[in-house]
Structure formats: C-alpha cells, structure tokens
A and B are shown apart, each in its own frame.
Chain A
Amino acid sequence: MPKLHELAHCRAGDKGDTSILSLIAYRAEDYPLLAERVTVDAVRRHLQGIVLGEVTRYELPGLWALQFVCARTLNGGVTTSLALDAHGKSLSYALLEMNV
C-alpha cells in the first residue's frame, strides 16, 4: 500500500478557520486512483482530530488535482489560534501520510 506521498504533491492554504488542501498527482495516470481512494470519508478518517468540520472535495481532472476544503480545522481561525502552526501550512504533509 503506497503512501499518498509517493503519488502526489500537496499545498496547504487557509481562509479563516478553513484549511484548503490541494492534492495533485505527479502523473496523469495516477489521478483516477486518487479520485477513487482519497474520498471525503477517507480524508475525514485520516485527519480525525485535526479536521473538525465538513470536508468538501472538488475534482479537477484537467489539473490531475483534488481540492479538499476542510472547515473548522485551524483552531477557530488563523488570527486567534493558539497553535504553533496557526495557518496549518504543514497540514499538506499530514494528508500525504495517508496510505492509498
């Protein structure tokens, strides 16, 4: 079972309390596998305790990408969070720890 890290790269962004994780396949041929395995449920399970709100997934086959918009993830929001990584910049690599 390969790690997501071997198949895709990821960048984390933030808007308020929402973390946005852009997951992009290195190769076009791996995109269908990502679309099949990296479901909303799988992401919710994997990031349990980190993502507390709803997860929305957007499919962007033209970019070989899935966009995950994760509500209630940044401890109430970047500007008032007590977390060390208030922006959740490092969450991209938490997602890439997933086994697919």
Chain B
Amino acid sequence: MRETLRIGAGAGFSGDRLEPAAVLAERGRIQYLVLECLGERTVALAQLRKRQDPARGYDPLLERRIELLLPLLRRHGVRLITNMGAANPIAAADAIIAIARTRKTPIRVAVVTGDDVLAKIEPGELTLETQAPIAKYGELVSANAYLGAAALLPALQSGADIVITGRVADPSLFVAPMVHEYGWQLDDVDRLARGTSIGHLLECAGQLCGGYFAEPGRKDVPDMAHLGFPYADVDADGSATLGKVERTGGCITLATAKEQLLYEVTDPFGYVTPDVVADFSTVTMREAGPDRIDVRGATGKARPAKLKVSVGYLAGYVGEGEISYGGANALARARLAGDIIRERLDREFPDLRIDLIGSTSLHGKSFDPAEQPYEVRLRVAARAPTPEHASLVGEEVEALYTNGPAGGGGTRKYVREQVGIVSTLIERERVPTKVILREWSRDAQAA
C-alpha cells in the first residue's frame, strides 16, 4: 500500500487552460492526473454534436489536451482520469488511440459507459426543480446519470493508462483512485466523505489556487497569468495536504481553500454524491507551509439510494444585441435606447430583457445612489422559437445607429441555441456500467 497518494487537478472546466496540466504531469510528481471538463450543460451540447456526426460528441479540446499530455504521462508514470468522453466516450477513446498510433506511443485506454440513460427516461417523470413532468420542457437531447467512483474501479484495475468517462460526479473522479489505491470499502462512509471533500476542493482546479478569488489590495494573488493547478497528497485515511507545483503562479491559503470547500454546496451538512453523503461542517484546515493546507475531518453517511440524472432539452433560441453610449448623459441616452427597443419589440417578445451594462446589468440595481457612469452599454436579449426570429433582436439594436439616441456606437448582435437542464432521479439497478478497453501497442502495429 502507498504511504501517500498524489492526485493533481489539471482542468476545472471544458474551456480551461491547457498548460497547467502539463506542468503537473512534468514537475508535480503526481500519480494521477484528473481533468474535469464536463459542466451541467456540456454533455447536452456534446449530444447535439454527436447527432450531426456519430464520431464526435466528446470534448472539443480532447485532441489538444491529449497531444500535449501523452508523452508526459508515459515519461512520468502518470495515469489520467477524465470525463472528456462527454456524450461519446468510446469515440473519445478512438480519438486518443489515433493520436497514440501517429506518435507511436503504446497506450491502453479504459472507457466507462452506462451514464447515458436517455432511452430509459420516461417523459412523465417529474423534475426535482419544479415537480413538473419532463415532457413539458420540450424535446429531450440528453439524459445522463451521475456515476460514482465504483463505476471507475474496474477501469483502474484494468491497468489502463487513461480512464475516459462521460457523466461522473466531479468529486468521484478523484475518489476513484483513492478507493483503488487504498482498497477502501464502498461503505466506509467517513473515508469516502474525507476523500469527497478533497475531490470537491480539487475539481475546479485553479479555483483552489487563487482563481475566482483575487481582489487587488485585499485578496492579492501572485502571477495569475501562470496560475499553478493544485494537487492533494492523500493518506490512507482520506486526510490530505493540498499543494501546488513550485514556481507556478497563484496561492493556496486558508481563505482560498475555504471558499472552494463551500463552493456550490447547497447543504454543507449533507453534500450528496453517488458515493456518500458528506458533512463538510466537521472539516478542519491548517496551514502546513507556504501553499500547503492540511484538510481533515469530513464525516459521512450512507450514499443515496438513487442516482441523479441531468436531462438536457432544446429550449429555443436567444437573440441579443448591444450598443454603447459615453460621455454626458450616457445613462439617459442608453435608457432612451432601451425604451425605443421595448416599444418596438415588446409585443413580439414577451420575455424581452433590457440591461444597462456598466450600471444595472449584473445586480438589477446599483447599490451606489450617486452613480453616474461615464459610459453605458445597452444590452437587449430575448428568447425566440427559431434563429430567424431571434435575429430580429440584434437587427433592431443595430438600427439604433441611425434611428436612436445620439452617439450610439459599437453594436454587436448574436443568436445562439439554448439547451436547458433539469434533473430527476433513477434507481441504481437501472444504470449498469461497463468498461471497454482500447489499446495500441507496437505489436499491434506489427500484426
């Protein structure tokens, strides 16, 4: 058994920076590298790409991340775990094998499947959000159950260099190697809870190291242009020390770690994953050195009976338009522009939203009573059933150039498709998972 296990977090979302993962693999002395790249909506968007091309539907940055990491994984003995499979993990594995073949790098990839439950979801099932039937929302494009660490264990036991999955609960991507390396029982709730707290701290990568944290003068973070991504040294008990690679930017402090521990947690006394229900209120943290924080003490209760399913549906289109005003009376001119748009579009777009960027777009009001911004950007957004209809919004805003208030400049217009997400529950027995192996070796090439 290992003395400690070092797991690095090389990506916190699909669009995350590429090179911090390479730094971790090269200089981090890590055993596992986890890339968490699958947001709530990402899998539904991937499903749409798969519809257009059955060979796609995995993370759009997969090839670039693998090209960068493949030689480093091998050289430094690092195993990769990632949910970049998105809606099509088997195609993702094939894409990885294709890269390995070109580079003549022997590789074994284990694919975890079973999360896609679209064929099993009944339209009459009720959503957790509104208790309304799923069918009411519109055409369904995806339904993915959140798998737990258990689904990844056979993949890790297979000796694969890379484990690729679709939807897995984010902390479970980190808990899986802990369970695998230390042989934890799947009902050892306190160890699983401690592991889950560590996985949760790592899952957003840079957000533990000063990303989404910095405020000049009050919460200063050094060298954010080269933010280092974190790792955890996890012991057999699930306690861990957080750290990051030397000579990288960012910082890990009690403050950054506390913010991340509580991030997106709707109940700190009962954080639910497929593995365990973890109580974070008992967590204690201690500074163990520069950029090193000891984390221990999470406690657990038995895992939930059912798995959460996130369901994606087509939610129509959104049209947007923007235009800027500056100088004297900028706010009044932007408001006038908004009034004009409202009068022209109100009847056709019942959901019309008008924002004044630089004044009230974020919080709906300004908390500063004396506010008189020098420049204001009008933003108009509305939902529409077709892209053609949605494009009217931007066209109307653009027409303010010659028909609106004085000094309006810099218009932009956008139309985008919206995919909504709701959730429901599914019995575990209805979500059997499977591991499929793909391999490339020099022998295979000879044969």
Contact flag A94-B353 (CB < 8 Å), given A11-B213, A67-B268, A79-B421: no
Contact flag A77-B421 (CB < 8 Å), given A58-B269, A63-B283, A65-B262: yes
Determine which of A69, A80, A83, A85 lies in contact with B266 in the assembled complex, contact meaning CB atoms within 8 Å.
Answer: A69
Distance in angstroms from B427 CB to nearest chain A CB is 22
List the A side residues contacting B283 at CB < 8 Å: 62-63
Are B351's CB and A67's CB within 8 A?
no
Are A63's CB and B258's CB within 8 A?
yes
Distance in angstroms from A65 CB to nearest chain B CB is 6
Most chain-A Cβ atoms within 10 A of its Cβ — which of B129, B268, B280? B268
Task: Tell me the complex Cα distance, A94–B363, Å.
Answer: 7
Task: Tell me the complex Cα distance, A70–B420, Å.
Answer: 20
Are B269's CB and A13's CB within 8 A?
no
Are B284's CB and A62's CB within 8 A?
yes
**Could you mark each residue 272-288 of chain B with 1 if its beta carbon is under 8 Å from any beta carbon of chain A, else 0?**
00000000111111000
List the B side residues contacting A40 at CB < 8 Å: none
Distance in angstroms from A53 CB to nearest chain B CB is 12
Are B265's CB and A14's CB within 8 A?
no
List the B side residues contacting A80 at CB < 8 Å: 315, 383, 418, 420
Are A63's CB and B129's CB within 8 A?
no
**Could you mark each residue 354-372 of chain B with 1 if its beta carbon is under 8 Å from any beta carbon of chain A, else 0?**
0101000111110100000
Distance in angstroms from A77 CB to nearest chain B CB is 7
**Could you mark each residue 9-38 of chain A with 1 if its beta carbon is under 8 Å from any beta carbon of chain B, else 0?**
101011111101010101000000000000
Are B364's CB and A49's CB within 8 A?
yes
Residue B244 interfacial (CB < 8 Å) = no
Determine which of B260, B282, B381 lies in contact with A82 in the assembled complex, contact meaning CB atoms within 8 Å.
Answer: B381
Task: Tell me the complex Cα distance, A11–B351, Å.
Answer: 29
Are A82's CB and B263's CB within 8 A?
no
Distance in angstroms from B320 CB to nearest chain A CB is 9
**Could you mark each residue 51-79 of chain A with 1 if its beta carbon is under 8 Å from any beta carbon of chain B, else 0?**
00000001010111101010000000111
Contact flag A60-B268 (CB < 8 Å), given A79-B418, A91-B363, A94-B367: yes
Residue B439 interfacial (CB < 8 Å) = no
Residue A50 interfacial (CB < 8 Å) = yes
Are B315's CB and A60's CB within 8 A?
no
> What bracket does the count of chain A residues touching chain B fall in?
35 or more
Residue B38 interfacial (CB < 8 Å) = no
List the B side residues contacting A15 at CB < 8 Å: 264, 266
Most chain-A Cβ atoms within 10 A of its Cβ — which of B218, B264, B282, B351? B264
Are A20's CB and B265's CB within 8 A?
yes
Determine which of B129, B255, B258 lies in contact with A17 in the assembled complex, contact meaning CB atoms within 8 Å.
Answer: B129
Are A78's CB and B281's CB within 8 A?
no
Residue B318 interfacial (CB < 8 Å) = yes
Interface residues of B in 292-344 (CB under 8 A from A): 315, 318
Are B420's CB and A14's CB within 8 A?
no
Task: Tell me the complex Cα distance, A26–B129, Å.
Answer: 34
Are A84's CB and B255's CB within 8 A?
no
Task: Tell me the complex Cα distance, A69–B267, Å.
Answer: 8
Closest Cβ neighbor of B320 among chain A residues: A82
Determine which of B213, B268, B367 lies in contact with A97 in the assembled complex, contact meaning CB atoms within 8 Å.
Answer: B367
Determine which of B219, B263, B267 lies in contact with A58 in the assembled complex, contact meaning CB atoms within 8 Å.
Answer: B267
Residue B374 interfacial (CB < 8 Å) = no
Are A82's CB and B259's CB within 8 A?
no
Are B355's CB and A84's CB within 8 A?
yes
Are A84's CB and B318's CB within 8 A?
no
Contact flag A11-B419 (CB < 8 Å), given A62-B282, A77-B129, A91-B363: no
Task: Tell me the complex Cα distance, A16–B127, Å.
Answer: 12
Are A65's CB and B258's CB within 8 A?
yes
Query: What is B's interface to A at a CB cutoff of 8 Å?
Result: 40-41, 129, 212-213, 215, 218-219, 255, 258-269, 280-285, 315, 318, 351, 353, 355, 357, 361-365, 367, 379, 381-383, 418-423
Residue pairs across A and B with Cβ atoms less than 8 A apart, 19 shown, are A9-B259, A13-B264, A16-B421, A16-B422, A24-B255, A24-B258, A26-B255, A49-B365, A62-B282, A62-B283, A65-B258, A69-B266, A78-B421, A79-B40, A80-B418, A82-B351, A82-B381, A89-B212, A94-B367
| The 9 nearest A-B residue pairs measured at CB | A13-B264, A22-B262, A11-B259, A97-B367, A82-B353, A82-B381, A80-B420, A94-B363, A79-B421
Inter-chain pairs besides A50-B364, A63-B285, A90-B362, 18 sampled, C-beta below 8 Å = A11-B260, A13-B262, A13-B265, A16-B421, A17-B129, A20-B264, A24-B255, A60-B280, A62-B282, A65-B258, A77-B129, A78-B41, A79-B40, A80-B418, A82-B353, A82-B381, A89-B212, A90-B363
